[in-house]
Amino acid sequence: MSDPRFERVVTALGNLARPFAIYVTSAASAVGVVIVALRVENGNDGAIFFGAVGVLIGLLIGARAAENINSAKQSAKVEIAKAQNSTGGE
């Protein structure tokens, strides 16, 4: 068995790192969009970059939402099992 303190630290770091990664990626993408807008000569290059940025940010946010949904489902299953065990398994 691992140390519960270690598990709490790992969980806390994971909970902190995930949103931080989304914020940093979003900020870097925003800076990138401005730089590309200043340097391109036609709108096609900028549009392609902007579309790629939108897809990346959408995937990050979608993955986080899917993780939250799966976590909520798992928590609900645990609570249902606890309720069934406390009532005699009906």
Q: Reply yes or no on whether the pLDDT at 89 is more than 60.
A: no
Average pLDDT (33-55) is: 83
Q: Quickly state the pLDDT bin for 90 (edges 50, 70, 90).
A: low
- Is-above-0.85 flag for pTM? no
Mind listing the pLDDT tens digit for each residue in 48-69?
Answer: 888 888 898 888 888 888 988 9
Greater pLDDT, 83 or 2: 83
Q: Which of 70, 52, 50 is nearest to 60 (CA)?
A: 52
Residue 17 pLDDT: 82
CA angle 66, 52, 54 (to 5 degrees): 50
